[in-house]
Amino acid sequence: MDNNDTPDQSAHFGYRKVAADDKARLVAGVFTSVAQKYDIMNDLMSLGIHRIWKRFTLELSGVGPGQSVLDVASGTGDLAAAFADRVGEDGWVLSTDINHAMLERGRDALLDRGISGNVSFALANAERLPFPDHSFDCISIAFGLRNVTHIATALRAMQRVLKPGGRLLVLEFSKPAAPIRPFYDAYSKFLPWLGKVVANDAESYRYLVESIRMHPDQETLKGMMIEAGFGHCDYYNLSGGIVALHRGYKL
């Protein structure tokens, strides 16, 4: 795996190596393609368990009334909606995504749920967050970090815009425990077929499976967070390590 953070290096798009400058465009194509069926596929692929993973993330966030939250790679807005409820009318949630189709889906979903007064939306690249230093009490990124071209750059950007004492929460697919890997591997091979049947897009879901395999494992990602300036870093394996929640604080 190449986690080289030098901008002129190649990057992985699934198992393929591509020019780093091309990865964001290719990822954008994937999420533009899957945006309309994204929520349905999430429920089918995780058997609905993604809601439990996100609820656990919310509980460990420590977010309370009046605080500010940045939800990066917000997608269809599940976490943004939950945080909006937590921070209340005196707080603020900023939902961002690099992909316009996904951001629009998230905005529409929150409006349909009557959530608008304390949530804003912004098109933003996780590697170049256009916000002032020390702006947010909490930052979350759920199932988005593996799609970033330069993970280390994104982690530093998120550390920069956190307030001192603020925390970053990274919810992402990771490396399962050895006993369940054979079953996980078999299930992963089934997902492109499911993407074809439900979303008429096998290739996008093949990329998503490959991107999970290329993402840093639990200890590697923890080390990258420490290198980016986070302290008190820890992680929690969920569903046998299929997913891990990493948490770090800005000292």
Q: For residue 41, is it within any domain?
A: yes
Domain that holds residue 228: 28-178+205-250
Report the C-alpha gap between 205 and 38 in whole angstroms: 11
Q: For residue 185, is it within any domain?
A: no
Is the pTM here over 0.85, yes or no? yes
Domain count, the chain: 1
Per-residue model confidence as pLDDT tens digits over 104-123: 999 999 999 999 899 999 99
Report the C-alpha gap between 223 and 141 in whole angstroms: 17
Q: Maximum distance among all alpha carbons in the chain?
A: 48
Q: Determine the pLDDT at residue 9.
A: 77
Task: Look at residues 108, 124, 126 and name the one whose alpha carbon lies nearest to residue 36.
Answer: 108
Q: For residue 82, is it within any domain?
A: yes
Contact 121, 100 (CB under 8 A): no
Provide φ and ψ at 92, rounded to 5°: -150, 135
CATH code of 211's domain = 3.40.50.150
Report the C-alpha gap between 118 and 248 in whole angstroms: 25
Per-residue model confidence as pLDDT tens digits over 29-50: 888 888 888 888 888 888 899 9
Report the C-alpha gap between 84 and 57 in whole angstroms: 14
| Mean pLDDT split into 10-residue runs, the chain, 251 residues | 53 91 88 84 87 97 98 95 97 96 94 94 96 98 96 98 98 96 92 88 91 96 98 98 98 93
Q: For residue 246, is it within any domain?
A: yes
Q: For residue 20, is it within any domain?
A: no
Q: Determine the pLDDT at residue 6.
A: 47
Find the helix or strand (DSSP H, E) in which 78 lies.
Answer: helix 78-87
Q: For residue 184, is it within any domain?
A: no
Q: For residue 187, is it within any domain?
A: no
Q: For residue 16, is it within any domain?
A: no
